């Protein structure tokens, strides 16, 4: 390892994931402030909720990295979850650095690049597990961990100023079902070298104990399936290939054939098989085949555990699935957790299933799910193995990060930095500190376009969603400056007691518009903007009276 | 008690609360089918969530009761929670029956009637605790229970065909802090009489053990407050007067003066004081006084524990409260549970507080909240005391009701009926059964108007919230049938890469509108509806291309 030069600094900059669980985007910089090289670790998305109507995907703001584009050596991916790779297709064109990923991750990245027509443009380097990459001043070593997806890796990042262990997402699993166990020996080896800083997963810092092993799920899943006379549907995250493997094994033991339902189930299983996973299993049956078989011989593995309205399970529950129907005697096993924000959708889905007579079994009833993130006892183990000089909690909301920071202090980590998105943290030399704030925030994908989080369009939509909309158009004679036709008033999203009252209200609004026009001094009437603004004000007031709402009002004056 | 006549039936009809937790509306009917008398028990609301933008209040559909209006003898209220009394102002004019309530409940009902200008019209009878009312064939006796609000009552409803025990909301609390303990002797007395059916709270049927006593909260709340150097804010449901009393006591012991923040805190404490509760306490201080006092002498009791954006705590967290500010050294105690659906809003609020340096203490960190509903051990006790022949679970989503039904069976209740809203259940004579389905569902309060749940206006608003809006207006010469002005295209809620592209898109939409008009055969052009429909189709198609969204399109053709 080369010696650090005068002025060299090692910095860590989270641009996503340090103010939320999701949307991970981390950068490590090395060199003097005027000549720094960067690597990016992970580039993920979050998903919009009902407070962001029309927004499905949320991206971290990459503007700092865009500016530093020429100095970015690589995008290194730890694992294939959406909150770690999902932004690659959206943001790569702004960064344009080579991408490194292990085979399973690379297979799913390729799908994304294909969707964005970037497959030919992005240099995607597939690396083996335990690979070592020298990227400028950064020596990056993949360290095998366990998590809820194949090929989860921590990264040991060596620099002339010290070694950082970036955990990515992890848990401790003695029997992960797929992939190797956590490479504890390698982690302890890093500790012997001396670890400057550990940048670590905070997701479950509020949870006592341990997450538990994938193996624990097996027996309970089997017992639950054996208790069902009719059809069984198991819903789980498609990316949890170990869970799929377990379910497939248990299905075989219970004499049930497995049918995959839902697009991402098929996508992930095919990616898994392309890298040698899910081998030596009975062939999947099609939905049509399953429909023709005795109920007790079928197990559906399906998407939709979060209550997503368009996913397979929601369609099955509402009776709207073409080939799959469930009813009395059948059961749905939720082998998954509730992602915060989805509670209402998930329980509504469960109620719909129960109304059909379907039995619903969740991880509340039986131990059929384990988390993929470290609980407090696991964090304790990891800190004991790694013995970092600095703890940097990430992958958490503010409350997780602060709690993790306090927990690390209680474990005697000498120094702790609680980062937030955009905080540039100098890890070395000297005492770690936040030395700069870079632009950080969120971008939204809205109808295929990337927009600012505080964009006007979304605000307008939310306003209309609450308050409704009124449009007014009128034709005005240019010379005589008099109304020739209209005002024509239309409303959207406004209710009133009955139709007659509604018609009267529309008349009121039209009268208000006309009166506002007539009241205008001639000098203002010839100005479209002034005219429209005056009519907007008058119509809004009349609408508030009539509808007890504050609708958006749009006025269009046509000069004839 | 008179003897039943030939043809008499006793029926139970839940119109709300049997498919959700909230919105309780229950009816009991007695008599032959062609001449039945009814009493209503409770008349509550639910609240809209983000899936229902602009809807704050949800009401049970009272159309069955409207038809039976002349046969309704009374509206009897068990306690003052919104999901039991909140609809009185909205629905009373459709039912017009006398209302019965104990003093604290009556005080809050009066407030509601005042808001609806109904105070002079509604016969509101204030009854004492343990009162007995003879309402036609129904003998209604109030039975004191414990819950999370003053004056929670069960109702023993005697009829010639048997006695129903309607629990309302309850828990078992040995030391409720306010009000008497559960009147177990009276309940056992009912059992000695013989209880035909128990209609019982299902809220916590998935929770093992017991809810715990209000008294348990006291010591942990005190310890938590003592651990804070700066200001303390405790947020709790205002209606939980026992919690307010406990907090006020603890504040005094800790040398802190209590300041109420938020409208409903003030409303409930004044209702409580009007019926003799919250006496002999130090005077509350004003927000202005609190602002001038040393931090360690202040305790704020404030609304907003559910993350409601306009409540006191949200305004404090965002720094937007006029008199109350919190920061480093201060703490907020969430002495409340998360109501399902509010998880994201609550944790976002907590993160905002933590970003200010405020310590956040929840019932996860310390035992500072207990539930007001019976867990499984409490249900077991109640069934053992009451020994009903029939169990009728209510106050639950479908999953709670089904689970409660199974639980009652496991407790050897001879007969169990799992109701849903609108299911008319014959309790006697004979085997209990669902004998009819009445209209049941939800009504929404939208801008002060009561509308159907599937109303077009809300669908339009939700569609626009996701997809945006385009309005097009054009002036057409009546005789020449040619466009004189426009098409003028306006959009709301639509985004595109940059301004230039946006202007081009608007031009495209205008071109599409014009071309659609020109393409129309003359016979159709003279018809406004056909013309507008053709332009709508063309503009929608162009908008989908330009914005990758499917906006609502409104076209206004002005004939000049």
Q: Which residues of chain B lie closer than 8 angstroms to A397, CB-CB?
A: 347, 351
CB A489 within 8 A of CB A471: yes
- Tell me whether A560 touches chain B (CB under 8 Å): yes
List CB contacts of B289: < 8 A, sequence separation 6 or more.
B257, B259
CB A88 within 8 A of CB A64: no
Alpha-carbon dihedral angle through residues A201, A205, A209, A212, given to the nearest 10 degrees: -40
For residue A304, is it left (φ>0), alpha (ψ between -120 and 50) or beta? left
Hey, what are A97's tokens? 């650095």
- Tell me whether B334 touches chain A (CB under 8 Å): no
Q: What is the pLDDT of residue A366?
A: 86
Judge: B475–A558 Cβ closer than 8 Å, yes or no. Answer: yes
Hey, what are B224's tokens? 């938590």
CA B546 to CA B560: how far, in whole Å? 31
CA B9 to CA B137: how far, in whole Å? 11
HEC sequence for A18-39: CCECCCCEEEEEEECCCCCEEE
Q: What is the pLDDT of residues B461-500, one digit of tens each?
A: 999 999 999 999 999 887 777 888 879 999 999 988 788 8
Judge: B475–A360 Cβ closer than 8 Å, yes or no. Answer: no
Q: Could you tell me which chain B residue has the CA closest to the CA of A544?
A: B447
Q: Which of residues 513-552 of A touch B (CB under 8 A)?
A: 547-549, 552
Judge: A465–B53 Cβ closer than 8 Å, yes or no. Answer: yes
Q: Are strands A162-166 and A257-261 parallel, antiparallel or unpaired?
A: unpaired
Q: Which helix (H) or strand (E) holds A67?
A: helix A63-67
Q: What is the pLDDT of residue B1?
A: 58
CA distance B509 to chain A (A): 16
Among the listed residues A544, A490, A475, A483, the one whose alpha carbon sits nearest the alpha carbon of residue A514: A483
Residues of chain A with CATH 3.40.50.10710: 214-361
- Tell me whether B117 touches chain A (CB under 8 Å): no
Say if pTM beats, i.e. exceeds, 0.90: yes
CA B80 to CA B107: how far, in whole Å? 9
Q: Are strands A331-334 and A359-361 parallel, antiparallel or unpaired?
A: parallel
CB A224 within 8 A of CB A265: no
Helix intervals (H) in A327-455? 343-355, 376-386, 398-410
Q: What is the pLDDT of residues A241-265, one digit of tens each?
A: 999 999 999 999 999 999 999 999 9
CATH class of B9-209+371-452: alpha beta
CB A331 within 8 A of CB A228: yes
Judge: B461–A455 Cβ closer than 8 Å, yes or no. Answer: no
Q: What is the pLDDT of residue A530?
A: 86
CB A157 within 8 A of CB A140: yes
CATH number for region A468-559 = 3.10.20.580
How many CA within 13 A on the CB side of residue B545? Answer: 12
CB B368 within 8 A of CB B335: yes
Angle between helices B241-253 and B214-226 (to 10 degrees): 40
CA B102 to CA B124: how far, in whole Å? 10
Number of A/B CB contacts below 8 angstroms equals: 201
Backbone angles phi, psi at B480, to 5 degrees: -75, -20
Q: Is B530 helix (H, G, I), strand (E, B) or coil?
A: helix
Residue whose token pair is 């950064």: A138
Residues of chain B with CATH 3.60.15.10: 9-209+371-452
Q: What is the pLDDT of residue A1?
A: 59
Q: What is the pLDDT of residue B370?
A: 94
Q: What is the pLDDT of residue A496?
A: 85
Backbone angles phi, psi at B487, to 5 degrees: -65, 130
Backbone angles phi, psi at A203, to 5 degrees: -45, -50
List CB contacts of A347: < 8 A, sequence separation 6 or more.
A307, B340, B397, B399
Q: What is the pLDDT of residues A263-301, one digit of tens each?
A: 999 999 999 999 999 999 999 999 999 999 999 999 999
Q: Which helix (H) or strand (E) holds B249?
A: helix B241-253
Q: What is the pLDDT of residue B201?
A: 98
Handedness of CA B309, B313, B318, B320 (dihedral sign): positive
Query: What percent helix, strand, coil does chain A show, rounded to 5?
Result: 35, 25, 40
Among the listed residues A242, A212, A86, the one whose alpha carbon sits nearest the alpha carbon of residue A149: A242
CA B111 to CA B257: how far, in whole Å? 28
Number of helical (H) and strand (E) elements in chain A, helices listed first? 17, 27
What distances in angstroms separate CA A293 from CA A225, A266, B138, one per listed residue? 17, 21, 55
Q: What is the pLDDT of residue B531?
A: 87
- Tell me whether B465 touches chain A (CB under 8 Å): yes
Q: Could you tell me which chain B residue has the CA closest to the CA of A461?
A: B465
Give the Cβ contact number of residue A56 at 10 Å: 13
Q: What is the pLDDT of residue A529?
A: 86
Fold (topology level) of A10-209+371-452: Metallo-beta-lactamase; Chain A (3.60.15)
CA distance B96 to chain A (A): 20
Hey, what are B396's tokens? 């639950």
End-to-end CA distance of chain B: 78
List CB contacts of B420: < 8 A, sequence separation 6 or more.
B14, B18, B19, B398, B401, B440
Judge: A49–B344 Cβ closer than 8 Å, yes or no. Answer: yes
HEC sequence for A280-335: CCCCCECHHHHHCCCHHHEEEEECCCCCCCCCHHHHHHCCCCCCCCCCCCCEEEEC
Hey, what are A105's tokens? 């991750």
CA A430 to CA A354: how far, in whole Å? 60
What distances in angstroms separate CA A539 from CA A153, A551, B433, one per listed residue? 60, 10, 55
Complex prediction ipTM: 0.90
- Tell me whether B185 touches chain A (CB under 8 Å): no
CB B412 within 8 A of CB B440: no
CA distance A447 to chain B (A): 5
Hey, what are A188's tokens? 């302890």
Alpha-carbon dihedral angle through residues A137, A143, A145, A148, given to the nearest 10 degrees: 60
Question: B363, B472, B558: best mutation site toward chain A, by most A Cβ within 10 Å?
Answer: B558
Which of A50, A420, A451 has its CB closest to that of B495? Answer: A451
Q: Which helix (H) or strand (E) holds B390?
A: strand B390-394
CA A148 to chain centre: 15
Going from the first residue of chain B to its last (560 residues), give the mean pLDDT of each consecutive group of 10, the final group possibly shorter: 89 97 97 96 93 93 96 98 97 97 96 96 96 97 96 97 97 94 96 97 96 93 95 96 95 96 93 93 95 96 94 94 95 93 93 96 91 97 98 97 97 97 97 95 92 91 94 86 86 88 91 91 80 92 92 92
Give the pLDDT of chain A (560 residues) as one tens digit per residue.
578 999 999 999 999 999 999 999 999 999 999 999 999 999 999 998 888 999 999 999 999 999 999 999 999 999 999 999 999 999 999 999 999 999 999 999 999 999 999 999 999 999 999 999 999 999 999 999 999 999 999 999 999 999 999 999 999 999 999 999 999 999 999 999 999 999 999 999 999 999 999 999 999 999 999 999 999 999 999 999 999 999 999 999 999 999 999 999 999 999 999 999 999 999 999 999 999 999 999 999 999 999 999 899 999 999 999 999 999 999 999 999 999 889 999 999 999 999 999 999 998 888 999 999 999 999 999 999 999 999 999 999 999 999 999 999 999 999 999 999 999 999 999 999 999 999 999 999 998 889 999 889 999 999 999 999 999 999 988 777 788 887 999 999 998 878 888 899 999 999 999 999 988 887 777 778 888 999 999 999 999 999 999 999 999 999 88
Q: Is B469 helix (H, G, I), strand (E, B) or coil?
A: strand
Burial level of A67, CB count in 10 A (0-12/13-18/19+)? exposed
Question: B404, B482, B495, B517: best mutation site toward chain A, by most A Cβ within 10 Å?
Answer: B495
Q: Is B95 helix (H, G, I), strand (E, B) or coil?
A: helix
Angle between helices A528-547 and A499-519 (to 10 degrees): 150
Q: Which CATH number fits domain B214-361: 3.40.50.10710, 3.60.70.12, 3.40.50.720, 3.40.190.10?
A: 3.40.50.10710
Q: Is B299 helix (H, G, I), strand (E, B) or coil?
A: strand
End-to-end CA distance of chain A: 78
List CB contacts of B104: < 8 A, sequence separation 6 or more.
B80, B149, B150, B151, B271, B272, B275, B277
CA A92 to CA A110: how far, in whole Å? 13
């Amino acid at each position: 390892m080369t010696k650090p030069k005068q002025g060299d600094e090692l910095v860590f900059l989270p641009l996503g994931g340090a103010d939320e669980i999701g949307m991970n985007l981390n950068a490590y910089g090395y060199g003097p402030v005027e000549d720094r090289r960067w690597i990016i670790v992970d580039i993920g998305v979050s998903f919009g909720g009902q407070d962001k109507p029309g927004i499905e995907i949320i991206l971290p703001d990459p503007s700092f990295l865009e500016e530093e584009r020429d100095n970015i050596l690589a995008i290194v991916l730890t694992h294939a979850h959406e909150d770690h790779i999902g932004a690659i297709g959206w943001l790569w064109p702004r960064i344009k650095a080579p991408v490194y990923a292990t085979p399973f991750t690379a297979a799913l990245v390729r799908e994304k690049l294909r969707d964005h027509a970037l497959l030919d443009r992005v240099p995607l380097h597939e690396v083996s597990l335990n690979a070592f990459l020298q990227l400028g001043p950064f020596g990056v070593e993949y360290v095998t961990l366990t998590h809820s997806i194949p090929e989860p890796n921590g990264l040991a990042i060596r620099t002339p100023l010290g070694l950082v262990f970036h955990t990515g997402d992890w848990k401790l699993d003695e029997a992960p079902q797929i992939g190797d166990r956590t490479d504890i020996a390698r982690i302890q080896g890093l500790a012997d070298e001396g670890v400057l800083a550990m940048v670590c997963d905070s997701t479950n810092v509020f949870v006592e104990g341990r997450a538990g092993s994938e193996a624990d799920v097996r027996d309970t899943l089997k017992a639950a399936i054996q208790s069902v006379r009719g059809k069984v549907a198991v819903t789980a995250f498609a990316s949890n290939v170990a869970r799929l493997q377990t379910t497939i094994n248990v299905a075989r033991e219970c004499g049930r054939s497995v049918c995959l339902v839902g697009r991402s189930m098929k996508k992930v299983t095919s990616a898994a098989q392309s890298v040698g996973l899910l081998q030596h299993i009975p062939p999947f049956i099609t939905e049509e085949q399953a429909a023709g078989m005795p109920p007790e011989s079928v197990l559906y593995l399906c998407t939709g555990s979060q209550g997503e309205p368009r996913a397979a399970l929601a369609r099955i529950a509402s009776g709207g699935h073409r080939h799959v129907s469930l009813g009395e005697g059948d059961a749905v096993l939720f082998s998954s957790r509730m992602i915060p924000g989805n509670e209402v959708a998930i329980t509504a889905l469960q109620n719909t299933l129960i109304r059909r007579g379907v039995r619903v079994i969740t991880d509340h009833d039986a131990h059929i799910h384990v988390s993929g993130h470290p609980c407090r006892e696991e964090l304790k183990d990891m800190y004991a193995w790694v013995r970092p000089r600095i703890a940097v909690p990430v992958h958490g909301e503010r409350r997780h990060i602060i709690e993790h920071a306090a927990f690390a202090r209680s474990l005697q980590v000498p120094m702790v930095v609680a980062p937030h998105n955009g905080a540039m943290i100098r890890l070395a030399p000297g005492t770690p500190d936040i030395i700069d704030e870079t632009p950080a925030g969120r971008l939204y994908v809205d109808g295929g376009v990337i927009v600012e989080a505080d964009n006007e369009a979304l605000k307008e939509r939310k306003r209309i969603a609450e308050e409704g909309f009124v449009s007014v158009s009128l034709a005005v004679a240019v010379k005589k400056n008099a109304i020739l036709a209209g005002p024509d008033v239309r409303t959207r999203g406004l209710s009133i007691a009955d139709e007659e009252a509604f018609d009267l209200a529309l008349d009121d609004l039209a009268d208000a518009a006309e009166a506002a026009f007539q009241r205008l001094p001639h000098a203002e009437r010839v100005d479209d903007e002034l005219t429209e603004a005056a009519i907007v004000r008058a119509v809004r007031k009349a609408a508030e009276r009539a509808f007890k709402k504050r609708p958006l009002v749009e006025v269009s004056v046509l000069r004839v």
